[in-house]
């Protein structure tokens, strides 16, 4: 069975290369996790520019891999299998990683595993907290996704319970940050501003929490519009915008709905473990409120450290290791990037 697995991630604006070791008992050990981000190149556009991201991946891929091997004290010839994000993500960005992975696979004569980025966000938690219980509930909150997933086996069986009907949670953070004239990406500066604000200052709406709304779906575009209207009205009155209170009240609305629906799903399905991952999982209020509500409901909460929550190569290497351990077949060298790969397809 392959032992050293290299993971390559390039679905958005992070070029990631991770190296893990798969042990006989199925445990997966992190050996290296190197990331090069092109976020600074996109900041002035207020969002990721696909063409700019693809070019940045092309430049960063080999140097990032070299850094990962140096960190792990390994050589290319030590690698037994390559895992790569096959989707979902930006088409051109994905293609850079998939092409690099095919080249490594062909040159080294080792198997290639095209895997799902979203499943990678869940699998990464095993690097920090050990094997996932079956079933567990995963809440994926990033710039592009907001999903509640039932995970029976991260290598082969993931079911979607609900997702956002409009904006992703991170997207809402980025849009509200722009309204408040805070930098991109908006999550970290809003989190920081909120620390000094009053979360009860403004009662922003909780999307999709009415009795007729789908139980596990989310909506954040109404919240974003409510913040915009509130800021406009204050400006019209000639008032100074209380950025810290707006940030805290917005953040409270997001954390409230996310944790309420996650705990509800865990209770409905009798699932005892909740994993929260993706960039927004780094949010201080989200993890604090999730901690409180999970404790009250007797649910175990697992949140990977922030560096593992945002996009990285270790998450792809970790998922690759679980796919290998499960005895799933390798991918053909003919695979392509699939920008809209569904979360139910863990490996292609
Ligand atoms: O998972 P990720 O790195 O990339 C995607 O796959 O999208 O997530 C990026 C998103 C951005 O929208 C960013 O604003 C948000 O995660 N984010 C945060 C925090 N740190 C990053 N949102 C809220 N609070 C944070 N501390
Ligand atoms: Zn992601």
Q: What is the CATH number of the domain that holds 76?
A: 3.30.420.40
Please give the distance, rounded to the nearest whole angstrom, from the Cα atom of residue 231 to the centre of ligand 2: 30
Which residue is closest in CA terms to ligand 1's atom 14? 187
**Could you tell me which residues are beta bridge partners of residue 34?**
17
The reply to whether 131 falls in a domain is no
Residues enclosing ligand 1, CB less than 6 A? Answer: 12, 142-144, 170, 173-174, 185-188, 191, 278-280, 282-283, 310-311
Same domain, 36 and 145: no
Same domain, 33 and 53: yes
pLDDT at 44: 83
Tell me the CA distances in angstroms from 193 to 4, 182, 255, 261, one per residue in order.
Answer: 42, 9, 15, 25
Q: What is the dihedral of CA 149, 152, 155, 158, to 10 degrees?
A: -30
Residue 174 alpha carbon, nearest atom of ligand 1: 14
pLDDT digit string (tens) for the chain, length 348 residues:
779 999 999 999 999 999 999 999 999 999 999 999 999 899 888 888 999 999 999 999 999 999 999 999 999 999 999 999 999 999 999 999 999 999 999 999 999 999 999 999 999 999 999 999 999 999 999 999 999 999 999 999 999 999 999 999 999 999 999 999 999 999 999 999 999 999 999 999 999 998 888 999 999 999 999 999 999 999 999 999 999 999 999 999 999 999 999 999 999 999 999 999 999 999 999 999 999 999 999 999 999 999 999 999 999 999 999 999 999 999 999 999 999 999 999 999
The best mutation among 168, 169, 187 to test binding of ligand 1, ranked by most ligand atoms within 8 Å of the C-beta, falls on 187
Residue 184 alpha carbon, nearest atom of ligand 1: 14
pLDDT at 45: 87
pLDDT at 56: 95
Please give the distance, rounded to the nearest whole angstrom, from the Cα atom of residue 25 to the centre of ligand 1: 33
Please give the distance, rounded to the nearest whole angstrom, from the Cα atom of residue 16 to the centre of ligand 1: 16
pLDDT at 43: 84
Please give the distance, rounded to the nearest whole angstrom, from the Cα atom of residue 86 to the centre of ligand 1: 21
Q: What is the dihedral of CA 81, 98, 90, 162, to 10 degrees?
A: -30
Q: What is the dihedral of CA 175, 178, 180, 181, to 10 degrees?
A: 170
The reply to whether 334 falls in a domain is no
Q: Which ligand is nearest to the CA of 168?
A: 1
What global pTM score does this model have? 0.95
Same domain, 195 and 271: yes
Please give the distance, rounded to the nearest whole angstrom, from the Cα atom of residue 17 to the centre of ligand 2: 14
Same domain, 282 and 176: yes
Domain range spanning residue 185?
A: 136-305
Same domain, 94 and 143: no
Tell me the CA distances in angstroms from 36 to 41, 83, 104, 213, 227, one per residue in order.
Answer: 12, 18, 19, 40, 33
Same domain, 116 and 257: no
Same domain, 30 and 152: no
């Amino acid at each position: 069975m392959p032992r050293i697995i290299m993971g390559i991630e390039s679905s958005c604006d992070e070029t990631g290369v991770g190296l893990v070791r798969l042990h006989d008992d199925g445990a997966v050990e992190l050996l290296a996790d190197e990331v090069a981000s092109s976020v600074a190149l996109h900041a002035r556009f207020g969002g990721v520019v696909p063409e700019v991201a693809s070019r940045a991946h092309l430049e960063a891929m080999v140097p990032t891999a070299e850094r990962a091997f140096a960190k792990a004290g390994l050589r290319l010839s030590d690698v037994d299998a390559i895992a790569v994000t096959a989707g979902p993500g930006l088409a051109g960005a994905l293609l850079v990683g998939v092409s690099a992975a095919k080249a490594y696979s062909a040159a080294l004569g080792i198997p290639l595993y095209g895997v799902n980025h979203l499943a990678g966000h869940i699998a990464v938690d095993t690097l920090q907290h050990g094997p996932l219980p079956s079933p567990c509930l995963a809440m994926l909150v990033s710039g592009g996704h907001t999903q509640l997933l039932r995970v029976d086996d991260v290598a082969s069986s993931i079911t979607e319970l609900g997702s956002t009907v409009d904006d992703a949670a991170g997207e809402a953070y980025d849009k509200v940050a722009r309204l408040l004239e805070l930098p991109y990406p908006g999550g970290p500066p809003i989190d920081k501003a909120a620390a000094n604000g009053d979360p009860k200052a403004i009662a922003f709406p909780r999307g999709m929490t009415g009795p007729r709304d789908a139980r596990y779906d989310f909506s954040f575009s109404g919240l974003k519009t409510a913040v915009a209207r509130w800021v406009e009205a204050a400006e019209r009155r000639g008032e100074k915008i209380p950025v810290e209170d707006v940030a805290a009240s917005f953040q409270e609305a997001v954390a409230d709905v996310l944790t309420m629906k996650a705990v509800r799903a865990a209770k409905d399905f009798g699932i005892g473990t909740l994993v929260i991952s993706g960039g927004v999982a780094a949010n201080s209020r989200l993890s604090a409120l999730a901690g409180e509500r999970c404790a009250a409901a007797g649910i175990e909460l697992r949140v990977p450290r922030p560096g593992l929550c945002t996009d990285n190569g270790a998450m792809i290497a970790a998922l690759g290791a679980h796919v290998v351990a499960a005895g799933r077949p390798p991918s053909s060298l003919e695979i392509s990037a699939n920008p809209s790969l569904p979360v139910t397809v863990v490996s292609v």
